[in-house]
Amino acid sequence: MLFNHIVPASLALFSILLLGACAPTIGNRVDLEKVKFEVGVTQKNDVADILGLPNAIEKGKGDSLEYWAYNDKPELTGLILPVVTAGGTGTFSADTVTIPRFSSGKVRSAALICAFDSNDILVNLQKLQ
Amino acid sequence: MKMRAILLLFVVFALTGCATPALRPEVATDFLQSKVSAMVYLENKTIEYNEMVYKVLWNENRQNVSDFSGLWDVDAELTTQLAGDMAALNLAVKPVRAILADEPSYAALVQSIKATRGPDARNVPLQLNAETQARFQKAGINYLVVVRAAGFNISTTTMNSSGGLNLPAILFVYDIKAGKEEYREMMFSGEYVKWGKSPRNIESSGMAILKEAARKMLKTSVEKHFPKVIGLAQVQ
C-alpha cells in the first residue's frame, strides 16, 4: 500500500527535478536550422545581430571573401557527475568525477559558414549538418 | 626565543604574500621624468565563454568562442585608452601608433611582443629589434609600456544574469635606452557586467557592453595599480 504511493510520488518528484535542468545560454542566439538569410541581400551586421558573433572569422585564400563559421552548439568540455563511493567506516559519501575536455579548437565541425564580400554582403551560405 | 623566531617568520611570510612589485626606484624616477609610449595588444580577438550547465543529475561544462577580429580594432582603441589613462597620472605618454604609424614597423613590434611567449609557454624577455628601438629613440621615447592580453573571457553558470568579464594580461615596461625589458608582471583586469538572459548579450549593438566594460576595466587597472608600479603610490 505504502509502496503504491511512494513510487508515483518519487517519479513525480524526479520528473519535476528533470524539468529544472538548464540549457546552455552561451550558444547561438537562434537555432541555425531556423535562420533564413538571403544571399546578395543580407549583410554582415544582420548575421551578427541574429546569431551573435561567429566562432571563427577567416579571410579567404585566393579570394577577397571573409568567412564566418558557426558551430551548432557550445562545445562540451567536461562533465561533473556525482558518484557514490564507499567510505572507510561503512558509510557512503558523495564524490565528484570530472571528465577532462574532449576536444579543443574554435571550429571543429562548423554547422554554418557564411561568406561575405568586401561590401559586407552575404555572397554564399553553407549549412553543413 | 622560539616564539620570537616564529613571529619573525610569520612577519616575513606576511610581507611576502600579495606584495605588489614595482619598478626599481632609480628606474621609477627616470620613468616619471621621461617620454613614454604605450600599447595594448590582444593575441586573440575573441571572447571565450565558459558555462557550467545544471542538468540535475550531472553538470556540464560548455565553452563557446566568439571571434570579433576585423570587426573591432580593439588594440587601437584600448591603446588610446591606456595612453589617456596614463596621461591622467601626469605621464608624458604617446600611443605606439603615433611613433610607428607605418604597418611594417608596427608589425615588427607586434612580432617582438608575440615572441615574449616562448616554446612551451615559457616567458621570454621582451626585446625590440634595432630599427624599432631607433624609431622610439628618434621620437625621444625612453620607455615602452605594453599590456599583452590573451583575450576576453567570461566564466559563468546558467543561473547567472551577470558576472565578471576578464582580460588576463601581462604588463611590460621596456627601457628603450638600455634596450632591455625592465619589468613584467601579471595584470588581471575585470569588470562586473549585467548581461541578462545570456552572457552573449555583451555582443549586441556592435559589442556596446563589451567595449564599455573593456574601457572601464583598463581605466581601473591603470588608476589603481599603475601608480604602485611606477612609485607614485606606496607599494603594499
* B102-123 tens-digit pLDDT: 999 999 999 999 999 988 888 9
- Return the half-sphere exposure (C-beta side, CA atoms, 13 A cut-off) of residue B164: 8
CB contacts under 8 A, B 139-168 vs A, are 156, 158-159
Low-confidence ranges of chain A (pLDDT < 50): 88-106
Please give the backbone phi and psi of residue B149, each rounded to the nearest 5 degrees, phi first.
-115, 155
Q: Give the SS3 label for residue A40.
A: coil
pLDDT over 90, % of chain B: 79
Instruction: Give chain B positions within 8 Å (CB) of A78.
Output: 60-61
- pLDDT, residue B23, reads 92
pLDDT, tens digit, 9 for 90 and up, residues B123-138: 999 999 999 999 999 9
* B184-212 per-residue burial string, b: 16 or more CB within 10 A, e: under 16: beebebbbebebeebbbbbbbeebebbbe
* A86 residue type, one letter: A
Res A92: pLDDT: 41
Do the domain assignments include residue A32? yes
For position A98, what pLDDT does the model report?
Answer: 42
What integer best gives the mean pLDDT of chain B? 91
Alpha helices in B36-193 (DSSP H): 74-87, 96-99, 103-114, 130-138
- Please indicate if any CB of chain A lies within 8 Å of the CB of B50: yes
- Total-model pTM: 0.83
The whole domain housing A33 covers: 27-127
- B64-90: pLDDT as tens digits: 999 999 999 999 999 999 999 999 999
B157, pLDDT greater than 70: yes
* HSE value, Cβ hemisphere, 13 Å, CA-based, for B16: 6
Q: Residue A126 in contact with residue A35, Cβ under 8 Å? A: no
Evaluate if residue B13 carries a pLDDT over 90: no
**Main-chain phi, psi angles of A19, to 5 degrees:** -65, -25
Residue A63 lies in a domain: yes
Q: Report the CATH number of the B22-229 domain.
A: 3.40.50
Interval B190-207: pLDDT, tens: 999 999 999 999 999 999
In chain B, residues with a C-beta closer than 8 Å to the C-beta of A23 are 53, 158
Tell me if ipTM is over 0.85.
no
